[in-house]
Amino acid sequence: MNHATAEAMVGRERILRPRRGWLALDWRELWAYRELFLFLAWRDILVRYKQTYVGVAWAALQPLLMMVILTFVFRTLGRFPSPGAAPYEVLVFAGLMPWQFFANALTECSGSLVASERMITKVYFPRLIIPASAVLSGGVDFLVAALILGAMMLGFGLPCHWQLWLLPLFFGAAVLAALAVGLWASALNVRYRDVKYVVPFIVRMGLYVSPVGFVSSAVPETWRFWYNLNPMVGVIDGFRWCVLGPAFEPYWPGFMVSMGIVLLLLVTGVMYFRQMERTFADVI
């Protein structure tokens, strides 16, 4: 029995007041609504492939097809190098995993509040749960992609490096990056519906300006530091390092810049979301 249900059964009256301060996150309240958070995440997973012919197999087909296309474009046509003679297919797939998680999470997150209009206007619960559950629902696709990556590593005979143990840390960085940008997009989309047109553009362009089909070391030295202002550059470089070993060690000064941008976006995203949250039910 959760906190909200217990209050209803004992007949206590709950008075809701705007919290002071910009952040003012109520962690106890968020924990009390953890069942709703998990339910929304599970609902998003079920709805994602509902009424499709191949169902969850799309979670495997999409990255595989993208890997084939990007390998053809960047290796065959663009003749981009692969450090350490690593298989280009694995290089691309290791970059696709965090990028697709980020892209899917951002797309789902940006429209999550508008899609939950009826819930928001009828009952109270921490609104932060909605975009956060949208990010979590992409974890299933990521697990499927991880299984494919493991099979590819076995198929190409790649050795296991100690850096593989660090993969969960970089997945955590991908989650934070998706949540940071998703909070901004979901809150802005409530007031400005232009966001639903901007997000697909960002996702399409981001695939080519992020080091998904090539390695970030291909970027000229004078531009590498600034290139890492893209928060996904550090995350993708870290994934490749974990999968393919020392030849793909990230450019650490740039990596720190990418993580700094992620944290900045996350803190300001939470602040903006909390500031706008009180108006969601009125303007949605």
**What pLDDT, in 10s, does the model give residues 172-206?**
999 999 999 999 999 999 989 889 899 999 999 99
**What pLDDT, in 10s, does the model give residues 228-271?**
999 999 999 999 999 998 889 998 998 999 999 999 999 999 99
d(CA 126, CA 133): 12
Q: CA torsion, points 90, 241, 226, 145, in degrees to nearest 10?
A: 50
Give me the residue label for tokens 């530091």.
Answer: 225
pLDDT of residue 43: 86
- Residue type for 208, please? Y
CA-wise closest residue to 142 among 116, 112, 115, 178:
178
pTM of the model: 0.86
**What pLDDT, in 10s, does the model give residues 82-129?**
887 789 999 999 999 999 999 999 999 999 999 888 888 888 888 889
> For residues 120 and 189, is the Cβ–Cβ distance under 8 A?
no
